[in-house]
Chain A
Amino acid sequence: MCGSCGCGSGAVVTLLADRPVPAWMGGPGHRLHRGARGHHGHAEHLAGHVLTDAGYALADFEHDHGHEGHSHDHDHVYVMDVPDGGRTVELQQKVLAKNDDLAERNREWLRERGILAINLMSSPGSGKTTLLERTTRDLVGKMTLSVIEGDQETALDARRIQAAGSRVVQINTGVGCHLDADMVAQGLRGLDPPSGSIVVIENVGNLVCPALFDLGEEARVVLASVTEGADKPLKYPHMFRQADLVLLNKTDLLPYVDFDIKQYMTDLRMAAPEALLLQISATTGDGIQAWYDWLRRRIPPPRD
């Protein structure tokens, strides 16, 4: 079940691996299947078009939920009697505390290994996968990139990323509209990325829900495109407010669309005053070097 909520109760994590799955992950077979509450049979569905020959239960794989080495904010329970015979129990607990806790563990896991994780978010069709295909090809021999690919259904995007040359895990969230920290924990362990590398977590295409779920990333990147219209920062302020970087994609199409870039920059500054804006075209490569430079500056030194 999903770490914070259980919404993606049928989520399926699939490693499109170019090497054998380690023994601690259950030996042969690449599919990590999230079980429990009300799953929807995606494993059977996906088995037709993913590189897998055996699945195994999440229970073999999921990390424990002990409290060593980290803190919860729900340590204190206050109980008081109320006149009708019931009791009021003071909780003062964040609803997403469980997700936040798992995200923090992911962050620690990544820090210990010297890995840069980026949470890449956008609306559907902004060009996330095209950007990652190009990034993979352009960075061959310069930086090591792997991808956690989130979609409701299909392994289409993971196939594209794999064909471009990156290692990739596909997470199908079923009815879930976002990735959560538990799914990413599984994805990371499936990928086992090398120290000094970059993991891009391509979130489910959605400008609303992913904003609320910390995944343990180092930075949040929002990808927008000129074909979506210039009004998105004001329409989806929660998403943009948390962005460290906004990539404005498809700038090669600016001559053909009604997109007021000055207005966009003004609105973005209101919605996300801290965010850096880079204008790129993942198709032509215009401006893309600045994205690579931004990534390179954030890669931690490799650990032994």
Chain B
Amino acid sequence: MSLLVHELAITEGLVDAVSERLPGAKVTCVRLEIGALSGVVADSLRFCFDLVTEGTNLEGAALEIIQPPAMCHCRVCGQDFEPDSPIALCPCGSVEVTVLTGQDLKITSVQVA
């Protein structure tokens, strides 16, 4: 396998994590939350998922991805806002921004047969 994307590594991490938690279980669906500022591309992850799950107890499982929006707080004007790009800039023009949510990459639940 010559894919050099971190989504491949992450998909393998995902399969390992589920296999460790539920050894031997036939997994039929994996539900993932990919934050808008997580740096992970959902389509790449989907592409890797079928490759990586082959021969594991996740083989054939559906992959459901939700991508909740990020939320940031501006330390200058005080408002919370949803950034519209990975460069989190406040609408007031400030760069003094704290990321509140949106960086997580999380398995929320799985469905087993």
* Interface residues of A, Cβ cutoff 8 Å to B: 2, 4-8, 74, 77, 82, 85-99, 175-178, 180, 208-209, 211-213, 234, 237-238, 241, 269-271, 273
Contacts and interface: CB of A to CB of B under 8 A. Distances in A.
A94 B10 CA distance: 11
A92 B111 contact: no
Nearest to A239: B39
Contacts of A178: 6, 9
Nearest to A234: B87
B52 to A, nearest CB: 9
Contacts of B106: 92-95
Interface of B: 1-6, 8-14, 16-18, 21-22, 28, 32, 37-40, 85-89, 95-97, 104-113
Contacts of A92: 106-109
Interface of chain B: mostly helix, strand, loop or mixed: mixed
B110 A89 contact: yes
B9 A2 contact: yes
B111 A91 contact: no
B109 A89 contact: yes
A82 B112 CA distance: 10
B38 to A, nearest CB: 8
A178 B8 CA distance: 12
Nearest to B40: A212
A175 B2 contact: yes
B39 A96 contact: no
14 contacts: A2-B12, A5-B8, A5-B12, A85-B113, A89-B22, A95-B10, A96-B13, A99-B13, A177-B5, A178-B6, A212-B38, A212-B39, A270-B87, A270-B95
Contact of B4 (A74, A91, A96, A175): A175
Contact of B39 (A74, A88, A238): A238
Contacts of B107: 91-95
Contacts of A241: 86, 88
B87 A237 contact: yes
